Structure formats: structure tokens, C-alpha cells
Structure 1
């Protein structure tokens, strides 16, 4: 009797365990995070795959430096020499130990800012590009709003040291990171694991403070941060099979939790979503037979095992998921038929012939004037 019961118990346990693994393998499980705010977006489409308090205003700490770095790269000359001020050398927190009147290339300051999180490098960049931290902060706020569309952020300094009016949101930081990572120079610096630092005040090897560059395969950047009021903040990009995701976690109680939450987000995104490209030369036809093209490639991110539906609506391409939600809405360019193209070419040739005729007439008149004819 005991053997029969034992055999039945083993069978039930095996079936139960197999059932657990089967459910887990096909389950789309939403990550449970400890960080107070977080977001996960696709790096190409920009679509939000997960969010938690993503619009809540939070203190960013050193992830602020993403904004400082991309402005320096896009609006500055990286080969310009920056003369370090006494004010920059007195910056609080993490530094690259710049010396007053030291001359440093702007590119090297951006590297020190992003790799070693040098607050002194941030101040030196701000003073070089705008004259002061205050003036540079105004440039930062204008830049993120006008160039990126980050409407819910306000920066009062270039490095992220605490100020009550220095804030952002997880959503804004994801958009900022997406924009910055599209710049190849920024991407290279943000993904640098280590480099030699030979300054007047410090000669050493600096190591990137973002631990996932070593600990999570496919990580490509971007920046971590901490001040007591902000907790641990983290912005990370990771690539898998040509797909890049961007995760932001804000106000984690420990660095370990910020990294764990980020890994959960990446695992969730890579396992449960895929991104498709819509080619710029793809042709779409409206109900009246008019043909259109995008003019530039676009990307759409979908849940695994689902498809998208495309339709032309009033000269816009509308892409919907299977649940009817709008994933993309983009203006289209009407295609011209061959007769219109031929007419335009004929008109262009006529204009060119007329211009040549005028030039020839002017040339002939100048020749005749030489002989007083």
C-alpha cells in the first residue's frame, strides 16, 4: 500500500512540476519592480513596452550627464581646448580631478563626464559652452524640449547634484537616451568600459560606473547616478539580435536593485516583443487608388505572436495592433503617375533650354560689343 501511495505521489509531483514549467514557458509575465518609477521603450520605434509612474517628477542625479554630453557633442567642437576654471575644480562629488588652468580637449571632458561621472568635467563643459552653469542649464532645458520633446524636465546644473528644481521623469529620460544613442560619438563614449586618463592632477585608468556593461550581455550604455534625495537612478540600453531596448529606473533603494530591475525589464522586453521595419520605399494604396510612400523608414513594435494592420487614412499611414490600438501614425507622400512625371521633366527641360538660350544671347552680345558692332 505504501509503495502504491508513493508511486501516485511521485506521479502527481512530476505532472505538477511539468505543468509549472509549461505555464512559465508561455506566460507573458509583467515584471514586478522595486524602483519607484521605471519605463522600457524600444530604441527604434520609441514605443513604450512597460511603465511604472513614468510621468512622475523625480530627481535624476548623474543621469543628467546624458543631456550635458549630447549637447557638447552636437553643439560643441570636440577638438577645442577647454581651460579649466577654479570653480570647476571645486565641484562636489565624483571628479576626474581637474586642475585650475589645465587645458583639456572638450572630447576628453565628455569622456570623463560619462565614463567616470566627473562633476568637475560637467562644470568645465558648461562654462566653456555657455559661460556659466546657469546659462548652460537654460540651454539644456531648451534643447530637451525643442529637439527631443521632453516637456516634463527641468535642469539647474550639468551634473545632477541635488537641487529642488532639478527634476525629470522616466519617460523624458527614455526619450533623451533614445535621441542621444542615435549619435555615434555619444554611443561610443557611453559604451566605453575603460580608458587611460592622463591629466595634470590625475593619471589612472578610469572604469565606466555602469556595471551592466560587464554583467548583462548586449548592454551598449548609458549612465547611472546617485544622490541621497534621488536614490539610485539608472538609464541603460541593450541590444539583442539587432533590437535595442532602453530602460530607465528611478529611485531604487540600492544600486543592486536598480540593476536587477533593469535586467527584469530587458528580459521582459526581449522575450515578449519584436520590432518590424517599414521601408521608406514601401507603397501604400488608399481606397480611391492613390499610391503613397513614407519617404523615410519607420519602426513598429508588437507583442510576440501578433501582427499589425496597415491602412491609409487621409494621407496618413495608420498602423494598428490586433487589439485595434494605434501603434504608428505617419504622414505619407503621394506618388506621381508617369504622365505627371513626364510633364514635369518636359517643363524642366524647357526651363533649362530657355536659360541656355539667354546665356548664349548674352555671350553673343558681349562679343559684338567688343567689335563695336
Structure 2
């Protein structure tokens, strides 16, 4: 082979090597881009959902574990009743008796068949509202608390904004029957449910599977409409509410708890009831398989630059099960929870501990007059001491002289006696 052929062969081999390297680099890049990175386990992707909007949060911490179009306005249908129930519990006297109006009795849709003039306690109305989704119970509650549905709409919207803290919800009624201006978001519904679940009475009614109902015209057993609570139990389910109107599609609110994880799942605008339940189950599975909630005990102390901090209550934070968490104290009085990738999971507030004051005895500043008096006293003391010593010395000398004189007198007397 001549030099020219060898040169061409080398060039060709070099081109092939470069092409192979370039192909390898492109392959790595494509593989990297196509890998799913989620808040949870890196190898497990969140489920594909059929609902128009959905969210799953951890109830104690409010941590969003997965969301899809969660801030898009949707029609909630009967999920509205979650807000009505907690509002009635907090603003009304649950033992107070409500007289059912004709308007309430004639309300369409799902019902507990209240009769005009029937007298029912607010607590019983809340039970009929949540367990059997009674629209008539919703109207009776609104009229009793606010006087009219219009006033109730104003009152509950103010409550949701100022007390619960949601910003993208506007309710026109207490039951969720369709109104084009009656809207919420998956995020807001999760926050409303989270707030409501802090109330013990709400939790009890929200998780009730069946209830004996003794009404004026209807004696029956009420069963929850939520299938995961009743027909198809799911481990950890402790509450739920269903909803449906044609314009909203199927809506579902679900709460569940296992060991160290407490979840709220909201799905909105599903075309089929089965889709709403499947999406809910998939989101629950995803969250339970990938996350956990840890805590820092009350009274735990931290030190930063000689400043001591402590936790005034038990603090919770939610993170991936694979996370290796380290803590870092910040100057603003928070403790950051940081994972192995140096991602801040959350920042939790701490209470600053006041430093104990160190009392130091410093010499008192002496005035010129005090200094003069001290010096005078010292001079007097010195003079007095000198005079005292001098006096004692004189007394001693006198004593010695007198002793010697007496000695000589006595001695002389003895000599005279012997001669």
C-alpha cells in the first residue's frame, strides 16, 4: 500500500472514530433528557391521569407531592359541601335547631328529603350534607346562618379568603349545583379540605360510612357515596366526598393516612366515575410508595454563632423516602432541611432563646472627693497606728525603768539587813 492509500485509510478511521464518539454523546444526551425526574423516587414516574385537574398533598405539612393543572378554574360540584360543612361547624351552634324552609325542601338533586317546617339540628344537617350529599340540607344551613343564599355566598367567600386562605375560589351557593360563576381549583380544594380536617367533628362526619337517619318523611340508613370508603376499601382511607353535575364531570375528594404520611387527593373534571377513582388510587399509590413525613421533637435546641434556638412545637417535613436529610441553621432563625443533592426541602421556624445576662462586678468609679476622704482616712489610720506604737514603746520603757529601780531598792535593803 502506498503512502497516499495509507493516509486516506487513516483519515477514514479517524472520521469513523469521531462519528462513533459523536453518536455516543448524542445517545447519552437523549437518554438524560428522556429520564423522568420527580420529587419522589427517581425511577418511579407519577401516574398518567385522565382527570382535567388533580393534586395530592401531605396534610400535616401542605407539601404538594404531585399536581396537574391544579390552578385552573374548575366546577367543583358537591365538593362545595366540604367548605359549607366546616363553615357551619365554626360559625354555627351545632346543637341549634333549624326550621326547614319551602325553598330548602324543594331543592333539586341529591337530597335527604327534608320537609317544609321540619326542625333539624345543624349537626344533623351537616351529616346529611356530607354523607348523603343533601342539597336541601345545604340550603337549610345557608338560610339559617346567613338569612339567604346570596348573603351566604358573600359570607363563605369572605371566610374562605380570610380564614382558610384560598385566593382562586368563588362560590355562589352552599351545595355545588351548577352556576357559571361557581368555581374553584384543585389547589384551593386541597387547602379547604386540609383546613377542615383539623376539626375533629368534621373528620368524624367526613369519615362516616353509614348513619341511621330518622327524618320527618324519610327513615333510612345513609351510606357514604365514596366507594373507596364503602364498596372498595383502600388501606388508610379515612374520609371522602364525591361530586357530579354535567358541567363539572365527576369530582372526588379523598383523605388517607398510613403510618407517617397523611394525604389529601383532589380530582376534578373526570369524564367517567371510574377515571376519577383510578386517578385517585394511582395518586395515593404514588405518594405512599415514594414519600414520608419526618419530624423534629418539641424542645429540640440548635446553636448558631453562640445564639441558641429551639423548636416551640413538634415540626413536620415531607420528603422522598430516599432522601438523606441534613439540617442547617440560618441567621433568620429557621432550620433548613437539605437532601443529599443540596436541595432545600423546606425551612422550618425556630424560637430564639434569650441569652442569660452575665453579671460582672466592675470597680465603682471613685469621685475626687471620695478619693480625698479615703486618702485622709488612710493618713489618719497611719498616724493613729504610729502614735499607738510610740505610746506602747514609751509605756514599755517606763515599765523597764520602774522594774530596775525596784530591783536596786530591794537589793540594797537586803545588803543593809545582812550587815
1:172-222 per-position Cα deviation (integer Å, ceiling 9, x unaligned):
111111111111100000000001111112111110011110331211112
Partner of 1:332: 350
- Verify the 8 A CA contact 2:260 2:292 in the aligned structure 1: no
Give the stretch that moved more between structures: 59-68 or 173-182: 173-182
- Verify the 8 A CA contact 2:226 2:242 in the aligned structure 1: yes
Report the Cα offset of residue 328 of structure 1. Answer: 2.4
Report the Cα offset of residue 277 of structure 1. Answer: 1.2
Report the Cα offset of residue 307 of structure 1. Answer: 2.3
1:344-365 per-position Cα deviation (integer Å, ceiling 9, x unaligned):
xxxxxxxxxxxxxxxxxxxxxx
Alpha-carbon distance in structure 1 between the residues aligned to 2:42 and 2:335: 33
Rate the CA distance shift 1:162–1:264 in 2: closer, same or farther, 3 A: same
2:139 aligns to what SS in structure 1? helix
Partner of 1:349: none
Alpha-carbon distance in structure 2 between the residues aligned to 1:152 and 1:257: 25
Report the Cα offset of residue 339 of structure 1. Answer: 4.4
Structure showing greater Rg: 2
Query: Higher relative contact order at CA 8 Å, sep ≥6: structure 1 or structure 2?
Result: 1
Report the Cα offset of residue 338 of structure 1. Answer: 4.4
Residue correspondence of structure 1 range 177-216 to structure 2 within 5 A: 177-214=193-230, 215-216=233-234
Partner of 2:297: 279
Q: Does 1:86 align with 2:83?
A: no
Alpha-carbon distance in structure 2 between the residues aligned to 1:99 and 1:324: 62
- Verify the 8 A CA contact 1:37 1:251 in the aligned structure 2: yes
Alpha-carbon distance in structure 2 between the residues aligned to 1:89 and 1:323: 59
Alpha-carbon distance in structure 2 between the residues aligned to 1:232 and 1:324: 41
Q: Does 1:109 align with 2:125?
A: yes
Partner of 1:72: 88
Rate the CA distance shift 1:105–1:176 in 2: closer, same or farther, 3 A: same
Alpha-carbon distance in structure 1 between the residues aligned to 2:310 and 2:44: 35
Alpha-carbon distance in structure 2 between the residues aligned to 1:99 and 1:35: 37
Give the stretch that moved more between structures: 136-145 or 148-157: 136-145
1:154 aligns to what SS in structure 2? coil
Partner of 1:321: 339
Residue correspondence of structure 1 range 292-307 to structure 2 within 5 A: 292-307=309-324
Which residue of 222, 236, 254 maps to 1:236?
254
Alpha-carbon distance in structure 2 between the residues aligned to 1:192 and 1:92: 24
Alpha-carbon distance in structure 2 between the residues aligned to 1:241 and 1:141: 35
1:295 aligns to what SS in structure 2? coil
- Verify the 8 A CA contact 1:221 1:238 in the aligned structure 2: yes
**Where does structure 1 lack aligned partners over 5 or more consecutive residues?**
1-24, 341-373
Alpha-carbon distance in structure 2 between the residues aligned to 1:274 and 1:170: 22
Report the Cα offset of residue 285 of structure 1. Answer: 1.9
| TM-score normalised by length of structure 2 | 0.73
Alpha-carbon distance in structure 1 between the residues aligned to 2:291 and 2:154: 38
Report the Cα offset of residue 289 of structure 1. Answer: 2.0
Question: Runs in 1 of length 4+ with deviation above 6 angstroms?
Answer: none
Alpha-carbon distance in structure 2 between the residues aligned to 1:139 and 1:331: 33
Give the stretch that moved more between structures: 266-275 or 210-219: 210-219
Residue correspondence of structure 1 range 136-215 to structure 2 within 5 A: 136-214=152-230, 215=233
**Where does structure 2 lack aligned partners over 5 or more consecutive residues?**
1-40, 359-419
Alpha-carbon distance in structure 2 between the residues aligned to 1:232 and 1:120: 20
Alpha-carbon distance in structure 2 between the residues aligned to 1:163 and 1:321: 46
Size of the alignment, in residue pairs? Answer: 316
Alpha-carbon distance in structure 2 between the residues aligned to 1:268 and 1:198: 41
1:11-32 per-position Cα deviation (integer Å, ceiling 9, x unaligned):
xxxxxxxxxxxxxx99412111
Report the Cα offset of residue 317 of structure 1. Answer: 2.5
2:267 aligns to what SS in structure 1? strand
Alpha-carbon distance in structure 2 between the residues aligned to 1:285 and 1:144: 39
Give the stretch that moved more between structures: 144-153 or 229-238: 144-153
Residue correspondence of structure 1 range 250-289 to structure 2 within 5 A: 250-286=268-304, 288-289=305-306
Report the Cα offset of residue 268 of structure 1. Answer: 0.4
Alpha-carbon distance in structure 1 between the residues aligned to 2:344 and 2:43: 24
Partner of 1:347: none
1:295-346 per-position Cα deviation (integer Å, ceiling 9, x unaligned):
1222111112112232222222332333444332333211124448xxxxxx
| TM-score normalised by length of structure 1 | 0.81
- Verify the 8 A CA contact 2:260 2:294 in the aligned structure 1: no
- Verify the 8 A CA contact 1:177 1:222 in the aligned structure 2: no
